Amino acid sequence: MMKKMSISTSKTSLVLLLCQIISALDVPLDSKLLEELSQPPTITQQSPKDYIVDPRENIVIQCEAKGKPPPSFSWTRNGTHFDIDKDAQVTMKPNSGTLVINIMNGGKAEAYEGVYQCTARNERGAAISNNIVVRPSRSPLWTKEKLEPNHVREGDSLVLHCRPPVGLPPPIIFWMDNAFQRLPQSERVSQGLNGDLYFSNVQPEDTREDYICYARFNHTQTIQQKQPISVKVFSMDSLNDTIAANLSDTDIFGAKPVTERQPVLLTPTGSTSTKVELRGNVLLLECIAAGLPTPVIRWIKEGGELPANRTFFENFKKTLKIIDVSEADSGNYKCIARNALGSVHHVISVTVKAAPYWITAPRNLVLSPGEDGTLICRANGNPKPSISWLANGVPIAIAPEDPSRKVDGDTIIFSHVQERSSAVYQCNASNEYGYLLANAFVNVLAEPPRILTPANKLYQVIADSPALLDCAYFGSPRPEIEWFKGVKGSILRGNEYVFHDNGTLEIPVAQKNNAGTYTCVARNELGKIQNEVQLEIKDPTMIIKQPEYKVIQRYGQVSFECIIKHDSTLLPTVTWLKDNDELPDDERFLVGKDNLTIMNVTDKDDGTYTCIVNTTLDSVSASAVLTVVAAPPTPAIIYARPNPPFDLELTGQLERSIDLSWLPGDENNSPITSFVIEFEDALHEPGVWRYQTEVPGSQTTAQLKLSPYVNYAFRVIAVNRIGRSQPSEPSEQYLTKSASPDENPANVQGIGSEPDNLVITWEPLKGFQSNGPGLQYKVSWRQKDVDDEWTSVIVANVSKYIVSGTPTFVPYEVKVQALNDLGYAPEPSEVIGHSGEDLPMVAPGNVQVHVINSTLAKVHWDPVPLKSVRGHLQGYKVYYWKVQSLSRRSRRHVEKKILTFRGNKTFGMLPGLEPYSSYKLNVRVVNGKGEGPASPDKVFKTPEGVPSSPSFLKITNPTLDSLTLEWGSPTHPNGVLTSYTLKFQPINNTHELGPLVEIRIPANESSLILKNLNYSTRYKFYFNAQTSVGSGSQITEEAVTIMDEAGILRPAVGAGKAMASRQVDIATQGWFIGLMCAVALLILILLIVCFIRRNKGGKYPVKEKEDAHADPEIQPMKEDDGTFGEYSDAEDHKPLKKGSRTPSDRTVKKEDSDDSLVDYGEGVNGQFNEDGSFIGQYSGKKEKEPAEGNESSEAPSPVNAMNSFV
């Protein structure tokens, strides 16, 4: 067998991909070559070995193969030939071996279960597919079973069994409730690998009746549901309560509520178990334990470590998962369940078996006649698989003999092969866990040499670098390759060349003299062929002036140079980087042809700047560091606008461009950021300067684009951070030649102003846009969608043309073209316009009104035909007005309201209607010209609503126990008034509200006298009116009943709140003051007598002392002081104020008699002065708690009067 050829890895070489890794002859993957070479069949696509199909869909069994000539296909089913022509339900795809079994048209998937195998055959051999076992998926229903409720004690373990139906493939199990919510899982509650739900210990919250196990069958996309399982958890507390209810107090019950228990394994059972898993699969080991507290699971491998990177813990560490297992993972795995009371463990002995897997799979052989080769098929497994060979799908023992073939176990040896030795061989490696089947062909070819590298391919290489010239070839037998330089040159040999096995010629160090034409020659015993390629040597790219290290002060300007030299035939690109990244997106960074300039440098600009030069063949770079430092202290710098540029010069005059250069003026301590260039057209707009362009501040030249027929003059303005300079002096003038216009007028429109015309308007060209003398416009129009010719007219330099005699509102195509004495502008684009509009002809029909409520209605109408609109439809207007109120006479003035609805709308809402009223409306269509005729008036009525508040509420004639109320009817009754409602309640002096009284009043009443009211009391009134719909808003007032018939300030009434009169407090009445003085005097006399008796006749001049020090507080007040007069008997029976401490029934209780001062002062803690006067008010003690009833916040009570009497 020939030695395998090596391939150069150079970046410029043609990388030849090999058809196979092990072969005697390499076949490059050249599409044209592969189409021409004969090749035995190769299976390219097939269905999986275990093929589970959806019984509701057509069965598609794939078998695709390639070969030259294209292979034909046949099938076997259950080991015998499957004649698809005899089964109308089975078809084979064209140019394919794929079977389609039609199930959807009456076939049954179960009838086509079996083992299928595909054979692809052509004249050079036959390839076979795997045995494809076809089985329809199954999703059977749950068997009916009667599930008893689970009654379990708190803390005990529980297992809810799922026991799903056996499906194909097995279903995915999950637990949910009746609301299709997944049941929460935790270390205590989790689902096992078998689908059961395990409770390490149950809690009261586990009580529920909807534990439902679901099985999802993915192939058929169906979900089956088990009957709900009920769990009832009895807590120990409730159990103890039940027991306690039946025992005496002396019985003993109620130990610990829940008994803690050490772990017990729920699964697996026992202390040991075994597990067999296949190599490459996922190993899943599970331990679930019961116990209280909930046990924690830990996993170890006896005598070893759990494999790193392949070990995972799932289901709260109850499941050990090891992926991609191998024989090394066999061993004993121990799970340990532990809680505070103890532990339990289980050992699982794991054995890893292996289905066959490849060590060396057989590879295709491409041989030349007379060559030798081998096919090797080596596989491993546990147990070790057996190897068997087939030739073209037939066991090799009974296949036709081939003298060049010898079978030696897992190897077939070929010697001196001939073309008839071509065949496809199958290697089958099998054991009890599976099999492997591989096809490998032996293709014996006799082909003359072919060169696959394109002819005259050009290679370009930089001098002093390697050159790799390709000569991809194919031939059988393998050709010999020779290289020549030049057409008649000698064969290349020597150390300066390297010849690769794949035909590539390498020149390790290419020089200028290596450039030229090279010829590759390939020959074998069947022929000879040659190919020429070209080699060019280019000069290397160099940076002849590299950027240099710079130190710059903050806010300064810095520039890095990067001047390059390169081969004239190569186009270089220059890229600048900062710190190996793109330059910041900042206008301060200016990249020129040979430099990088940074304006107004800041601290963040500090870093390394790199210039990279790239061509198609090489790349060079150079770097420099920029250091930014703070500027030294300097005197204050005066910043100003720059001085104007000067010395403007025009060069390079062309018809449409010119070069302008200038010298910048002084920048005045602020760098120039840009230059603004303006121009003057002395021919069309003398004295008017317009903006031309703007260039960076580092640039002092600009190439300016020009327009024809303009007499140009230019000026330049410099700009810095402070502002703009004065304009420079104008440059010399430059008159450009005339030309036809470059552009047409903009904003062309066609809009009619009258029903029979079309007004075409446009924006005229400016003077410098005319490009020459004699500017005119060609105006063209034609009716759209009518086969008419264009009508054109040439007008002077105006902006409007009117076309008369047009039909009303029809579309027109319009265009306006500019022209001058030298010709026309380019063909203009067309715009669509319309002739003039006229008023609409038709009114909207079928107007309907739907009253939604008393203030809102919805109106509908049919749209008018668009042809009758005779213009642009803008919308519809609804006119509506109130005809009369149904509850009173109509107003004389009728105010029409208008609502506009834009577009082709056919309904609208009418808000703000008045309840219980009659309305009319009509609808009109609107276009750009105006409104069309109105539809017939439509009458509608609004239902009743709630009334407004009564127009007024007056409260008059206050007496001791009555008030008179007068009111006016609502301004807007909004219906027929049914009644009035009056609510009122008293207000005490602390502004607290009393009980609410409600009175219903007939609608025809306008006044009311309220009787049996409390005297001297403030009342608040709430008054509103009602219709059959409901109550309206209310009006409120306040008023006060009087206390006596004299000295009363009547309440103020009107729109605001009633003001209460000044109230008379009993504590300030003259008779009360006199009575209190008499009581105090009597007590003083008694005390004096007692004192004299105690001192055996001693005399104390009390009367004289009182006369000398009379308290003004107890002196009678004069009436002209605005205070109360003398005490009189007439006031003895006057009722006290409600806020006083006198009982409301106007009687004085015995315990409240004024014979004792205890209840009015400080009780036993009262004190007296030396003269015997009472000083309880200033004793610092709290007053006695007030008696029941309301207290006044405006006048002192009798108690306060006594306390202030000293």
Reported as a single tens digit per residue, the pLDDT across 336-365 is 999 999 999 999 999 999 999 999 999 999
| CA 409 – CA 386 distance, rounded (Å) | 10
What pLDDT is recorded for position 243? Answer: 55
Residue 1193 · residue 990 · CB < 8 Å: yes
Query: pLDDT-derived band of residue 518, with 50, 70 and 90 as boundaries?
Result: very high
- Kindly report, residue by residue over 272-285, the tens digit of the pLDDT: 999 999 999 999 99
More confident residue, 374 or 241: 374
Q: Give mean pLDDT, residues 1092-1097.
A: 69
Cα distances (Å, whole numbers) of residue 22 to 29, 30, 43, 719: 15, 18, 19, 74
What pLDDT is recorded for position 990? Answer: 74
- Taking 60 as the threshold, does the pLDDT of residue 187 lie above it? yes
Please state, as a whole number, how many other Cβ atoms lie within 10 Å of the Cβ of residue 355: 20
Query: pLDDT-derived band of residue 1169, with 50, 70 and 90 as boundaries?
Result: very low
pTM to 2 decimal places: 0.48
- Taking 90 as the threshold, does the pLDDT of residue 70 lie above it? yes
Report the mean per-residue pLDDT for the chain. 83
- Taking 80 as the threshold, does the pLDDT of residue 550 lie above it? yes
Q: Which residues contact 835 (CB under 8 A, 6 or more apart)?
A: 750, 752, 755, 756, 757, 758, 803, 806, 807, 808, 809, 810, 812
- Kindly report, residue by residue over 932-956, the tens digit of the pLDDT: 999 999 999 999 999 999 999 999 8
- Kindly report, residue by residue over 600-609, the tens digit of the pLDDT: 999 999 999 9
| CA 864 – CA 860 distance, rounded (Å) | 13
- Taking 80 as the threshold, does the pLDDT of residue 1105 lie above it? no
Instruction: Average the pLDDT over each of 234-243, 888-897, 1092-1101 and give the range with the smallest value.
Output: 1092-1101
What pLDDT is recorded for position 446? Answer: 87
What pLDDT is recorded for position 925? Answer: 95
Residue 584 · residue 591 · CB < 8 Å: no
- Taking 80 as the threshold, does the pLDDT of residue 900 lie above it? yes
Instruction: Average the pLDDT over each of 101-105, 384-388, 1141-1145 and give the range with the smallest value.
Output: 1141-1145
Query: pLDDT-derived band of residue 523, with 50, 70 and 90 as boundaries?
Result: very high
Check the CA dihedral 314-316-317-318 and report its sign.
negative
- Kindly report, residue by residue over 33-62, the tens digit of the pLDDT: 767 788 999 999 999 999 999 888 899 999
Comparing C-alpha atoms, which of 863, 867, 868 is closest to residue 840? 868
Residue 907 · residue 861 · CB < 8 Å: yes
Instruction: Average the pLDDT over each of 17-21, 458-462, 604-608, 1161-1165 and give the range with the smallest value.
Output: 17-21
More confident residue, 475 or 1172: 475
What pLDDT is recorded for position 618? Answer: 93
| CA 470 – CA 459 distance, rounded (Å) | 10
Query: pLDDT-derived band of residue 25, with 50, 70 and 90 as boundaries?
Result: low
- Taking 70 as the threshold, does the pLDDT of residue 1142 lie above it? no
The runs of H, that is alpha helices, within 1070-1191 are: 1070-1094, 1102-1108
Instruction: Average the pLDDT over each of 528-537, 960-969, 1194-1203 and give the range with the smallest value.
Output: 1194-1203
- Taking 80 as the threshold, does the pLDDT of residue 1149 lie above it? no
What pLDDT is recorded for position 1181? Answer: 37
- Kindly report, residue by residue over 980-1020, the tens digit of the pLDDT: 999 999 988 777 888 899 999 998 899 999 988 888 889 99
More confident residue, 237 or 99: 99
What pLDDT is recorded for position 522? Answer: 94
What pLDDT is recorded for position 179? Answer: 87
What is the b/e burial string over 703-729, where b = at least 16 CB atoms within 10 angstroms of the residue's CB? ebebbbbbebbbbbbbbbeeeebeebe
Comparing C-alpha atoms, which of 932, 903, 908 is closest to residue 848? 908
| CA 468 – CA 508 distance, rounded (Å) | 8
Q: Which residues contact 1021 (CB under 8 A, 6 or more apart)?
A: 953, 955, 965, 982, 983, 984, 1036, 1037, 1038, 1039
Examine residue 477 and say whether the peptide bond preceding it is cis (omega within 30 degrees of 0). yes
Encoding tokens for residue 655?
């018809």
What pLDDT is recorded for position 1118? Answer: 38
What pLDDT is recorded for position 842? Answer: 93
Query: pLDDT-derived band of residue 1067, with 50, 70 and 90 as boundaries?
Result: low
What pLDDT is recorded for position 676? Answer: 96
- Taking 90 as the threshold, does the pLDDT of residue 1167 lie above it? no
- Taking 60 as the threshold, does the pLDDT of residue 1193 lie above it? no
- Kindly report, residue by residue over 1029-1061, the tens digit of the pLDDT: 899 999 999 999 887 544 444 443 333 333 333
What pLDDT is recorded for position 881? Answer: 93
Please report, to the nearest 10 degrees, the dihedral formed by the alpha carbons of residues 388, 393, 398, 401 taken in order.
-100
Query: pLDDT-derived band of residue 241, with 50, 70 and 90 as boundaries?
Result: low
The runs of H, that is alpha helices, within 816-918 are: 866-869
What pLDDT is recorded for position 1016? Answer: 86
- Strands 132-136, 50-53: pairing is parallel
> SS3 of 1112, please?
helix
| CA 179 – CA 423 distance, rounded (Å) | 64
- Kindly report, residue by residue over 766-806, the tens digit of the pLDDT: 887 888 898 999 999 999 888 888 999 999 888 999 999 89
| CA 853 – CA 943 distance, rounded (Å) | 7
φ and ψ at 1024, to 5 degrees? Answer: -145, 170
- Kindly report, residue by residue over 404-449, the tens digit of the pLDDT: 999 999 999 999 998 888 999 999 999 999 999 999 999 998 889 9
Which helix (H) or strand (E) segment holds residue 909: the answer is: strand 907-910
What pLDDT is recorded for position 788? Answer: 84
Angle at 824 between CA 820 and CA 825, to 5 degrees: 105
| CA 779 – CA 1159 distance, rounded (Å) | 114
- Residue holding tokens 């697996």? 268
φ and ψ at 194, to 5 degrees? Answer: -85, 0
Cα distances (Å, whole numbers) of residue 1033 to 464, 970, 973, 1027: 103, 10, 11, 12
Encoding tokens for residue 556?
């300064």
